[in-house]
């Protein structure tokens, strides 16, 4: 028994050297168990060794055969497993061999597992070193770029500060110059305002300056509304394309618009102004003003004679003085309404007129010509100088077009007609002898304008 115990202890020491993972060694108590229980204990150890799996440690197998371990004692199980006093060495060689083989297999498996873990650990360490190296390189690159960017931003910041300093100095200089020139600007603005006021006061006289005021429009033209003036202008320019092309308003470099050209003519008729005055008012040359006057008076006379003007035989018979005239076999009656005054110089006087002084005055009649069909027109001068008459002045009746019927006017009082025609002061001025034709056209135009502005004549 002593030999078996010694051999059992030697096997336990060899097993502890080959399987160090089983934990710390426990001191084996020296008190021997009773002889009656040893056989039963050995039998249980052999039975557990046969029934235990290959990876089960021998300590657990031997501990399982401890009869002193109760099933409910969980806290003292580990102590029992490491209780080397309960270890036993089987007597059969086969069982002992199986225990040794299993222990070697367990050691080998654990060694392989250890090598594999060491390899994985080495691989992880190398990967960690590579990652650290890569991170260090990237960190260095980022730090380099960041340093370059910081240097660039610092340089830009210095440049911006320099520019800001320059702008501040420039702004201060400009502010000083502005403050210094404030008085000069104020003085110049006052001078400019004075010049503008002077230019506005002495500005060009035009239709635009009076068309918004009916009082001044009537004073300068005789028309009480601008709409009537615009209708008169449309009547003058409508349906006469050839005359429009020849008239001054169609020239390439006309100084005034057609409205202002007609306005110039009406102003001279209404106020009797000289061409020099009109040239100054309209800011044009005297020759341009004269050209406008001559061309428009000729055109207006021809255009206005197309308006039918009717009268009553009773008013014609009651009017004095009158004289019968014959024009192209048509018996007409000339009613001398007024005398147009002129001034004759010595070189233009006829021989035998010795009673005239060096600047004698004479007159020519301004008359209305009445036809047997109760239509009339206007003219001036002697009988032999009778101008061409409208087509509706004839012995028989005449049919008027729709346009002529719309433009038809009626005269009831020749005295009233004369007064309204002489409201155009151009007819009251004493003109030189070479203006007889212009004054005659002015008389005709004034009579037709009196008919247009007052209808029927003598009642309005």
Please give the model's pTM, rounded to 2 decimal places.
0.55
* C-beta separation of 367 from 391 below 8 A: no
Nearest CA to 436 out of 356, 358, 381 is that of 381
Q: What are phi and psi of 141, to 5 degrees?
A: -65, -45
Among 23-37, 280-294, 337-351, 359-373, the range with the most confident prediction by mean pLDDT is: 280-294
CA 253 from centroid of its chain's CA atoms:
36
User: How confident is the model over 45-69, as a mean pLDDT?
Assistant: 47
67 band by pLDDT with thresholds 50, 70 and 90 = very low
18-27, 80-89, 200-209, 349-358: which has the minimum mean pLDDT?
18-27
Tokens of 392: 């509706």
- Kindly state the tokens that stand for 197: 């006021």
Mean pLDDT of 440-451: 93
Q: What is the DSSP letter of 400?
A: P
As a whole number of angstroms, the distance between CA 267 and CA 261 comes to 10
Nearest partner of 81 among 26, 1, 159, judged by Cα: 26
Do 343 and 430 meet the contact criterion of CB atoms below 8 Å apart? Answer: yes
Residue 355 CA to residue 433 CA, distance in Å, equals 18
Instruction: Give the integer Cα–Cα distance in Å for 343 and 429.
Output: 10
Mean pLDDT, residues 403-422: 87
pLDDT at 142: 93
> What average pLDDT does this structure show over 241-255?
52
pLDDT at 7: 46
Domain ranges of the chain: 2-91, 208-304, 309-453
What average pLDDT score do residues 90-97 get?
Answer: 83
Least confident of 64-68, 134-138, 423-427, 443-447: 64-68
Q: Which pLDDT value is given to residue 72? A: 44
pLDDT at 281 over 70: yes
Looking at the chain, the whole-number percentage of residues with pLDDT higher than 70 is 70
**Minimal CA–CA distance to 233: which of 201, 349, 225?**
225
């Amino acid at each position: 028994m002593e030999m078996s115990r010694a051999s059992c202890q030697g096997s336990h020491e060899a097993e502890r050297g080959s399987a160090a993972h089983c934990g710390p060694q426990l001191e084996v108590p020296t008190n021997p168990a009773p002889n009656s229980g040893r056989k039963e204990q050995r039998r249980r150890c052999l039975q557990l060794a046969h029934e235990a799996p290959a990876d089960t440690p021998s300590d657990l197998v031997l501990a399982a055969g401890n009869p002193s371990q109760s099933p409910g004692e969980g806290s003292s199980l580990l102590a029992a497993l490491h209780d080397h006093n309960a270890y036993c060495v089987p007597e059969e060689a086969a069982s002992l061999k199986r225990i040794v083989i299993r222990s070697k297999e367990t050691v080998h498996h654990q060694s392989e597992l250890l090598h594999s873990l060491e390899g994985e650990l080495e691989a992880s360490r190398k990967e960690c070193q590579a990652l650290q190296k890569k991170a260090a390189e990237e960190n260095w690159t980022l730090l380099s770029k960041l340093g370059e960017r910081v240097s660039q931003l610092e340089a830009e910041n210095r440049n911006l500060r320099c520019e800001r300093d320059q702008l501040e100095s420039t702004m201060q200089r400009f502010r000083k110059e502005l403050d210094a020139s404030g008085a000069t600007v104020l003085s110049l603005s006052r001078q400019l305002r004075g010049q503008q006021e002077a230019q506005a006061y002495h500005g060009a006289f035009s239709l635009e300056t009076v068309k918004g005021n009916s009082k001044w429009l009537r004073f300068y033209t005789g028309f009480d509304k601008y709409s009537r003036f615009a209708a008169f202008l449309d009547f003058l320019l409508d349906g006469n394309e050839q005359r429009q092309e020849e008239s001054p308003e169609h020239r390439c470099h006309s100084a005034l618009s057609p409205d202002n050209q007609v306005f110039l003519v009406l102003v001279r008729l209404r106020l009797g102004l000289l061409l020099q005055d009109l040239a100054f008012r309209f800011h044009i040359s005297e020759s341009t003003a004269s050209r406008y006057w001559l061309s428009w008076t000729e055109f207006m006379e021809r255009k206005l004679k197309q308006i039918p003007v009717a009268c009553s035989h009773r008013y014609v018979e009651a009017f004095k003085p009158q004289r019968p005239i014959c024009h192209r076999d048509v018996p007409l009656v000339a009613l001398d309404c007024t005398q147009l005054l002129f001034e004759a110089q010595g070189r233009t006087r006829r021989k035998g007129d010795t009673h005239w002084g060096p600047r004698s005055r004479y007159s020519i009649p301004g008359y209305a010509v009445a036809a047997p069909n109760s239509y009339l027109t206007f003219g001036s001068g002697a009988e032999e100088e009778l101008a061409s008459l409208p087509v509706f002045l004839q012995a028989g009746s005449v049919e008027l077009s729709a346009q002529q019927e719309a433009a038809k006017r009626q005269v009831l009082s020749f005295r009233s007609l004369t007064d309204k025609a002489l409201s155009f002061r151009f007819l009251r001025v004493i003109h030189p002898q070479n203006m007889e034709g212009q004054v005659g056209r002015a008389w005709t135009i004034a009579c037709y304008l009196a008919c247009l502005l007052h209808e029927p004549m003598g009642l309005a």
